[in-house]
Amino acid sequence: MTDRIVNFLKSVRPDGPCLVVDTEVVRDNYLRFQRAMPDSRIFYAVKANPAPQILALLAELGSSFDCASVQEIDMALAAGATAERISFGNTIKRERDVAAAHARGIALFAVDCEAEVDKVARAAPGAKVFCRILCDGEGAEWALSKKFGCEPQMAIEVLEHAHAAGLVAYGVSFHVGSQQKNPRAWDGALASAADIFRTLSYRGIELKMVNLGGGFATRYLEDIPGEGEYGRAINEAIRSHFGNRLPATIIEPGRGMVGNAGVIKTEVILVSQKAKDDIRWVYLDVGKFNGLAETMDEAIRYPIRSSREGEAVPCVLAGPTCDSVDVMYERTPYPLPINLEIGDELLIGGTGAYTTTYASVAFNGFPPLASYVI
């Protein structure tokens, strides 16, 4: 919660809930990633927050962009990125979207099976492809499902298939899970990647690149490793598995780039109890459907600031819609001041990533979350 954000809210006083993102924090995060991993190219995961001002700042700083769709590719291009600095990182693409990306000059694509390679070979001949491998995600706050990637053994065949289809078999990618708090989590996947590099090298195919994915944690309530710690642990793992034949590497921070740059301003709509002496329920004008989708299963616990200084008592925290799943914290209630009142303003920190675009179009008639980038 930077002074710039607090001052913006004081002077503009926007009506209704909103997210405010401080670009100074984004700039700082970018420079830290660069210092921590000077040999890696940074591909910002656009999906985390595609606000045009954020993309323009990062393009100016020299960032590349990891895009999930043609729409995101167009946003990155509009922000000033060249096609060479854009990766179509979604392993699930319609063939006509691959063709649209190819027409825009994009030449780097993610795949995780032969059928996807065939689409790229037909719609973007000659492009570079990297194959995503599965990774167990231990240590991550949001361990990923098996949705993306294949077993390392199959990746070898997928990349050979790409080579045979006239594509550039370029490398291997993986993702250690979102909000990964163990800097050593990259080690196992890097061992698998090095195996794939060696096996394909025996077969005459020289891979060039390892995409280390994202997963870099942002600070919510607990302490997290600094970018430097991630950098050191990852570099050690690369050296131990690849020896002297170091691959080019890229990283795809999303949450780590913008998470701590944003604050959501919200209003208390109701404080009530279900029965006498029962737990307090606090209802806000933001909830799961207009910004706080990532409180799903109470996975992420955002820091919340009130100007009241009363004793903190446990509260159930819920959103404004008529939907019973629109409850943020109930299993583990959230401590809030006992003198909190209807109409009070609260600031929810660490909300720069995965808030605005996750918001629903108009659920219950409520508008999506407003956003200001300053």
Residue list 269-308, contact with a copy of itself (CB under 8 A): 269-276, 278, 281, 283, 285, 289, 293, 296
Tell me: does residue 322 bind a copy of itself (CB under 8 A): yes
Stretch that binds a copy of itself, among 166-174, 193-201, 232-240, 355-363 (CB under 8 A): 355-363
Tell me: does residue 362 bind a copy of itself (CB under 8 A): yes
Angle between helices 114-123 and 95-103 (to 10 degrees): 40
Tell me: does residue 112 bind a copy of itself (CB under 8 A): yes
Position among 115, 164, 246, 338 found at the interface with a copy of itself (CB under 8 A): 115
User: Which one-letter DSSP state was computed for residue 328?
Assistant: E
Cα separation, 116 vs 55, in Å, equals 28
Q: Give the shortest CB-4-to-a copy of itself separation in angstroms.
A: 25
Buried b (16+ CB within 10 A) or exposed e, 61-95: eebbbbbbbbebbebbbebebeeebbbbbbbebee
Other beta carbons less than 10 A from residue 10's beta carbon? 8
Cα separation, 33 vs 39, in Å, equals 10
Cα separation, 127 vs 99, in Å, equals 11
Q: Give the shortest CB-329-to-a copy of itself separation in angstroms.
A: 12
Q: Give the shortest CB-350-to-a copy of itself separation in angstroms.
A: 19
Q: Give the shortest CB-322-to-a copy of itself separation in angstroms.
A: 4
Q: By CB under 8 A, what part of segment 33-72 binds a copy of itself?
A: 46-47, 50, 67-72
Q: Specify the residue, 24 or 345, whose C-beta has the smaller distance to a copy of itself.
A: 345
Q: Specify the residue, 6 or 143, whose C-beta has the smaller distance to a copy of itself.
A: 143
Q: What is the DSSP track for 2-34?
A: -HHHHHHHHHH--SS-EEEE-HHHHHHHHHHHH
Cα separation, 249 vs 251, in Å, equals 7
Tell me: does residue 320 bind a copy of itself (CB under 8 A): yes
- Cα separation values, 161 from 73, 115, 169, 345, Å: 26, 10, 9, 57
Stretch that binds a copy of itself, among 108-116, 162-170, 184-192, 225-233 (CB under 8 A): 108-116
Q: Specify the residue, 238 or 250, whose C-beta has the smaller distance to a copy of itself.
A: 250
Residue with tokens 């870099």: 216
Q: What is the DSSP track for 80-137?
A: T--GGGEEE--S---HHHHHHHHHTT--EEEESSHHHHHHHHHHSTT-EEEEEB----
Catalytic status, residue 18: no
Stretch that binds a copy of itself, among 52-60, 181-189, 201-209, 350-358 (CB under 8 A): 350-358
Q: Specify the residue, 113 or 238, whose C-beta has the smaller distance to a copy of itself.
A: 113
Catalytic residue among 18, 113, 315, 322: 322
Number of residues that bind a copy of itself (CB under 8 A): 76
Position among 12, 31, 78, 92 found at the interface with a copy of itself (CB under 8 A): 92
Cα separation, 44 vs 66, in Å, equals 6
Q: Say how many Å lie between the first and final Cα of the chain, rounded.
A: 13
Q: Give the shortest CB-76-to-a copy of itself separation in angstroms.
A: 10
Q: Give the shortest CB-260-to-a copy of itself separation in angstroms.
A: 21
Position among 325, 335, 338, 339 found at the interface with a copy of itself (CB under 8 A): 325
Stretch that binds a copy of itself, among 51-59, 198-206, 227-235, 317-325 (CB under 8 A): 317-325
Tell me: does residue 116 bind a copy of itself (CB under 8 A): yes
Contact 53, 373 (CB under 8 A): yes
Q: By CB under 8 A, what part of segment 132-171 binds a copy of itself?
A: 134, 142, 144-151, 153-154
Q: By CB under 8 A, what part of segment 202-261 binds a copy of itself?
A: none
Cα separation, 328 vs 46, in Å, equals 25
Contact 351, 302 (CB under 8 A): yes
User: Catalytic residue positions?
Assistant: 322
